[in-house]
Amino acid sequence: MPARRRSRPTLRCLNADLGQKIPTLDVDLGELDHPWIEELRRISPTSPKGQKRVLSIERPLVYRLRVSNERGATWVNDERNVVWLCAVRRRETGSKDDSFAWFAELHAAGALLPSDDDRLRDSAETVLRFQRQLSSELHALVDAALTKSGVELTADLGQSMPCRVLVLSEGGIDEIWCALSVQTLDGEIIRPELRDILFARLEEYLAPITFETRSDWPTGEVEWFEAVRFGLR
């Protein structure tokens, strides 16, 4: 089964055609609450199936999308598994400002498909999306450990980063131990900045709490491939 495609507006399309300022990186453009983005998300898993081509553009294959009296131009980047919404304009048949005529003009000027800025934004959001996923899974593991004092829980964050958590509770105080691997299950080295981000997000999540780096583990040895943090709450 093919992976579900991500849906993406271009920054140019978002700024000029959707009438919105470009959000900061903490906002995933593909998750914006807007009729055009909602329609893009709807068709992205099967795009371009069921869509008609923009016939004025021979190559690459660009497809039509419709919301009310406006038309959009979409392009599928199969290499990155992304459907891009490249441009949007009102349909005015016979007018030189008609949407399809404008799409052709943009294409002729080399300004229809995603730009370097668009691709950079997509890459940055991909990294941040992965960080949020790992953080969410780590938080869930710690929450589970807080309900099972004395029981060491393990998980592979993002199906790639081994992690273990142990909570020891006594006298109303929780000792929270967390170890993150320095390498993936495939043996690839994990950048220390990623682990630092995950520990920082965990500290924020459990606040008020302060973590310190440790080289020990309360129930056994620390493996050479683990980074350990310990905190009291």
State the total domains in the chain.
Answer: 2
In a domain, 67, yes or no: yes
Average pLDDT over residues 22-44: 87
Query: Token pair for residue 107?
Result: 């294409």
CA nearest neighbour of 152 among 118, 175, 130, 133: 175
pLDDT tens digits, 153-186: 999 999 999 999 999 999 889 999 999 999 999 9
Q: Please tell me whether residues 109 and 23 are part of one structural domain.
A: yes
CA atoms 229, 230, 232, 233: torsion sign:
positive
- CA 102, 103, 108 angle in degrees (round to 5)? 95
Q: Please tell me whether residues 163 and 222 are part of one structural domain.
A: yes
pLDDT at residue 96 greater than cutoff 70? no
Q: Please tell me whether residues 137 and 207 are part of one structural domain.
A: yes
Supply the pLDDT for residue 15.
Answer: 67
pLDDT at residue 144 greater than cutoff 60? yes
pLDDT tens digits, 69-82: 899 999 999 888 89
Average pLDDT over residues 117-135: 92
Q: What is the span of the domain harbouring residue 175?
A: 131-232
